Structure 1
Amino acid sequence: MKILILEPFYGGSHKQLIDLIQQSVKEKDLELITQTAKKWHWRARSSAVWYSQKIEDNVGRYSHIFSSSVLNLCELFGLRPDLKSARSILYFHENQLVYPVQTVQDRDFQFGYNQILSALAADELLFNSEYNLSSFLQNIPKHFKIQPDFKPDTKIIVKKIRDKSRVLYFPIYEELKLLDLGEKNSSDVLHIVWAHRWEHDKNPESFFQALYTLHEEGFSFKISVLGETYSQVPPIFEEARSILSDHILQFGFAKTKEEYYSILRDGDVIVSTAIHEFFGVSMLEGFYLGCFPLVPNRLVYPEIYSEECIYNTDTQLYKKLRNFIRNPSALRSRKIFTDFQKFSIKPFLTLFE
């Protein structure tokens, strides 16, 4: 019997996870059906119909179905009830109940509702962090408040979802431990890395504002701004490219994974200013490769990083960066220990037994 893997948004961390599973579960018979990582709104709205037409009849064919929560599993099972005989596992890279919309009109009830329905339909639910799981459960009652009447009993919904949920951290350990990228940067100038999607929920304004101030005060530093771009890029990126041109080592998506890892290895400090983050793969990758992680005191970060890595305000972010710039060697000598083996692929391999 095959393991059927469905990924409506096959890119970024979604692709990274699926590829790791494929590489690691070699003795199993896997069937992978994907859609490109574009127009996620439409993937969330309509991928179930497309998949219902692409998947072969499940007459003893599939033992497990594994998908990310982009797919409306409830719709898929409604269209293809034969698939319900396979054990269904849903992985939440994120949840739509706490997405920080820019305007109230941007809040689409259906995206969060789809994830709740999918969670109720699946046999097992996996979340990439405790923060992701807890924020999803806590916001289910709030999500239904917009419904005018005939509201469901959200206590029943929350209990059903909680009872089949657990946390499996995103796996980075096995891939990174094989890397050999040479010696760490020994320059007298601090190298600051920002590696996130170029979108508003990663709050690039706070990051660049800190750098603008350091630039205006005459400090020497280098920056690498990495991450994927989509159809709409916040205008501050083009502004920052101009204002900070003398400091730039890399500005844009790395051409290869090897180049990406090499930049992280060369970095001294990797920064997040996110207002929306459930795990933060690039931050953890940078941390593993020797960057000092500087993260806000919110979202998933206090769950993963120690207190010395956390800042509370944008002013604290600026001050920490200023101190690091003044003494890069002192920063490089600081050692922060964590058990990276908890970010392993091994727990995923037991899912299909």
Structure 2
Amino acid sequence: MNGSVLAFEPWDAGSHRAVRRSITRHGRMDWRFLTRPGRSPRWRLRHAALSFAEETHADPIAGAGGEPPLAHDRVAAAFATGMLSLADLRAAMPGSLRNRPFILSMHENQAAYPVSGDVSELTRDRDAHLAFTNLASMEAADRIVWNSHWNLESFLEGMSASMRHAPEPVGDDWAGRIRAKSTVVAPPIEVSEIDDAMVLRNPPAARYRDDPRHDRPPTLVAWPHRWEHDKGCDELLQLADEAARREVDGGPAIRWVILGHRPQDPPEAMKTLLRRHGKRIAHAGEADRSDYLGWLAGCDWVLSTARHEFFGMAVAEALFAGCLPWLPSRLAYPELVPEDALNLNPWDRPSEGTITALRPRIRNRLERARAEVAVDQLETVVMETIESMRT
């Protein structure tokens, strides 16, 4: 394909940054990303589009990260993630770019994002406004890429509920229009990095397992999530309490590997978890990438208690690393693993024969998320969108 993809990432942190890096690493197309740091999400959703549009009025557009400038006539398509208003971006860009194909990538959606129970009614109204920003972005896009069917369906369901509170009807066709231009592509996961961690014998987990202070071999369970209310911290605490009781009665010696970002003021459930079960926690908090993958590769299970999960990249990484799934049959998890791999737990551990047969089935189910495969699928969508607008 001649030309470049002018891409906008307003939330260049966490899984958003991981996806961007995989696209630039494995993509065959010429991707030119403009980015903003991952902070102040409400401001990003409303402000980033105008900020980015300002940059595009220069011709050529200044290159980022040492890349050469990009002339307007070299732009074949525009690509943006859902943490901005694509409607504002397209409207505010110069006319020479506005008629290019615009692809919107929905990493998450605001209509299904759970709101903490202690927020004000004003904040709830503002969050509903962000969901309508998502809707306007989708109406302005030529193609919408979702990371899971759950993400798409939860948005449509959440927006339908919000529409009932609108002072005037928007019309009956909005959901059909979104479905017609939507497709699902898994986010790219760098499986080769995970495989390397498994070959390197999982140093952090191995050191913990070999600690002579253990009365018996521990069962390591990874919880790879942000320490936030929407990740089900209360349920994690309940399970840790149950694990401690069962251990006294002869159950497995479950030890917790708590990964993910730890905010300055964690939820009360996490504070209680650290205080009550500190001796049963092998690790708590963020780790550098090498140790993070080492922990995943050394754990026996991966647990999710999330109230929302639009795909579950951290869970998928753990599954690629060989962890058994301790996952509920909700959210995006039925798309990640076979049906008989849902609702398992360490107390009712499957037989070794079942586990041996299950792991390759899970890995095969996740093959579409392997970085090389996922980026190729994404670029196919971009090229198809470009071609469809030429005819």
TM-score normalised by length of structure 2: 0.80
CA contact (8 A) 1:270 1:287 kept: yes
Report the RMSD for the aligned CA atoms in angstroms: 2.4
1:84 is matched with 98
Aligned pair in 2 of structure 1 residues 141, 169: CA closer, same or farther (>3 Å)?
A: same
- Contact kept? 1:43, 1:71, Cα under 8 Å: yes
Q: Distance in 2 between matches of 1:175 and 1:92?
A: 25
Task: Give CA deviations for 1:304-326 in whole Å, capped at 9, x if unaligned.
Answer: 22233323xxxxx7xx33345xx
**CA separation of 1:60/1:309 partners in 2, compared to 1, >3 Å: closer, same or farther?**
same
Letter of the structure 1 residue corresponding to residue 358 of structure 2: K
Cα distance, 1:227 vs. partner? Answer: 0.6
Q: Does 1:301 align with 2:301?
A: no
Distance (whole Å) between structure 2 residues aligned to residue 231 and residue 167 of structure 1: 35
Alignment CA distance shift 1:265-1:200 (3 Å): same
Q: Which residue of 2 aligns with 1:152?
A: 170
Match of 2:31 in 1: 30
Q: Quick check: 2:341–2:358 contact (8 Å CA) kept in 1?
A: no
CA distance, structure 2, for counterparts of residue 198 and residue 118 of structure 1:
29
Q: Give the 3 Å change call, closer, same or farther, for CA 244–341 of structure 1 in structure 2.
A: same
Q: Do the aligned residues in 2 keep the contact of 1:272 with 1:283 (CA within 8 Å)?
A: yes
Give the whole-Å Cα distance in 2 for the aligned partners of 1:341 and 1:64: 27
Shift of 1:177: 6.4
Whether 1:322 and 2:347 are equivalent positions in the alignment is yes
Q: CA deviation at 1:179?
A: 2.3
Aligned length: 340
* Per-residue CA distance 1:255-290 (angstroms, 9 max, x = gap): x21111110000000000111111101111101101
CA contact (8 A) 2:304 2:326 kept: yes
What is the CA distance between 1:333 and its match in structure 2? Answer: 5.2
Post-superposition Cα deviations, 1:228-253, rounded to whole Å, max 9, x if no partner, equal 23455212222211211111211000
Aligned to 1:348: 378
Q: Counterpart in 2 of 1:64?
A: 77
Q: What is the DSSP-based 3-state SS (H/G/I as helix, E as strand, rest coil) of the residue aligned with 2:358?
A: coil
User: Which residue of structure 2 lines up, in the alignment, with residue 110 of structure 1?
Assistant: 129
Work out which of the residue numbers 239, 247, 263 in structure 1 matches 2:280.
247
1:163-174 matched pairs, under 5 angstroms:
163-172=180-189, 174=191
CA–CA separation in structure 2 for the residues paired with 1:292 and 1:286: 8
For residues 265-344 of structure 1, the aligned pairs below 5 Å read: 265-311=297-343, 320-324=345-349, 335-336=358-359, 337-338=361-362, 339=364, 340-343=366-369, 344=373
Assess if the C-alpha contact under 8 Å between 1:274 and 1:296 holds in 2. no
Q: What is the TM-score of this pair, normalised by structure 1?
A: 0.88
Which of 241, 247, 270 aligns to 1:212? It is 241
Secondary structure of the corresponding residue to residue 262 of structure 2: coil
Distance 1:287 1:119, change over 3 A: same
Distance 1:229 1:49, change over 3 A: farther
Could you tell me how far apart the structure 1 residues matched to 2:282 and 2:221 are? 10
Which residue in the other structure is 1:93 paired with?
107
Structure-2 separation of matches of 1:252 and 1:292: 21
Partner of 1:314: none
* Partner of residue 19 from structure 1, selected from 8, 18, 21: 21
Report the CA distance between 1:85 and its aligned residue. 2.2
Long gaps (5+) in structure 1: 312-316
Q: Distance in 2 between matches of 1:175 and 1:93?
A: 22
Q: Within 1, Cα distance between the matches of 2:222 and 2:191?
A: 23
